[in-house]
Structure 1
Amino acid sequence: MAKLKPYILSENARAQAEFYTQALGGRIESVTTHEQAMGAQNEFKDKVMHMCFSIPGENYIFMADAIEPVTRGGDIALSVEFGTQEEAVAAFDKLSEGGKVKHPIELQPFGIFYGELVDKYQVTWMITA
């Protein structure tokens, strides 16, 4: 059985992961820098080579500091389903701080509690309950 694990390249993986763990719950599980993994002593030594953080429900997201500038597109979204509308609204509100709400979180005509936003790191999120 395969598991999908999103991997986000970031301009500041530590700050971005901290933002997500505060918004979604969970915690940073591990961080490996270029210095730790490969003994780098240059400008990359303190950059994140690999990071894993968890969010509730046994979900994991991986991140790394990008070596090259990051360009985001609108073609991929991370979707998180919560057990209650209250949890979904709380996460939606936190993720949207400094970002842009595309669709307010509310009960949709097709019967699902749904909202969509682009966060301050230009990552698109679809939140449901």
Structure 2
Amino acid sequence: MATLSPYIYSADARKQADFYVSVFSGEIISIQSYGDLPGMDESKKHLVMHLELQALGLRFFLADAGADASNRGMGMDLALTFKDEEEARTIYDGLAVDGDVIMPYDRMFWGTMLGRVRDRYGVMWQVATET
């Protein structure tokens, strides 16, 4: 058995994690900075090496990646599926704040609700309900 946890590279992992905490009602479990490493260059000590966020019964990881963070993972969406339609809508609406709606949250011909959004940090999400 395995678990799959998204690892999101960011231009500002702390700020992005705070956004997800607010949207998902989550909690930052731990943060390790490059300053925790011995002999690290002073200019990089503030950067996040590894951040763990727990939300929605899932574990997300984030790390600072510098200027090229927005180009990572462009061929992938993170898909969240909910039993409750209103919870899904709340999450979708939260992710859409200052983001780009790719596909409005709406009923699909197969019966579920589904929406697709690029959040303010460039991460693509699909938010859906179970059938």
For residues 2-52 of structure 1, the C-alpha deviation after alignment (integer angstroms, 9 at most, x for no partner) is 111111110000000110111112111100001113452421101100000
Give the corresponding residue for 1:64: 63
Q: Residues 5 and 63 of structure 1: is their aligned pair in 2 closer, same or farther, counting only changes over 3 Å?
A: same
- Which amino acid in 1 is paired with 2:115? G
Q: Deviations over 1:74-120 (max 9, x none)?
A: 31011111221111111111110111111111111012111100011
Alpha-carbon distance between aligned partners in 2 of 1:22 and 1:83, rounded to the nearest angstrom:
20
Uncovered stretches (5+) of structure 2, i.e. residues with no partner:
none
How do 1:1-129 and structure 2 match up within 5 A? 1-57=1-57, 59-67=58-66, 69-70=68-69, 71-72=71-72, 74-129=74-129
RMSD of aligned alpha carbons: 1.4
Measure the CA separation in 1 of the matches of 2:67 and 2:95: 25
What is the count of residue pairs matched by the alignment? Answer: 128
Tell me the percent identity.
34
The SS at the match of 1:43 is helix
Question: Structure 1 or 2: larger helix share?
Answer: 2
Q: What is the SS of the residue equivalent to 2:120?
A: coil
Contact 2:9 2:72 in 1 (8 A): no
Q: Hey, what's the Cα distance between the residues in 2 that align with 1:25 and 1:53?
A: 10
Which secondary structure state, in structure 1, belongs to the residue aligned with residue 102 of structure 2? strand
TM-score by length of 1: 0.92
CA distance in 2 between counterparts of 1:4 and 1:73 reads 15
Unpaired segments of 5 or more residues in structure 1? none
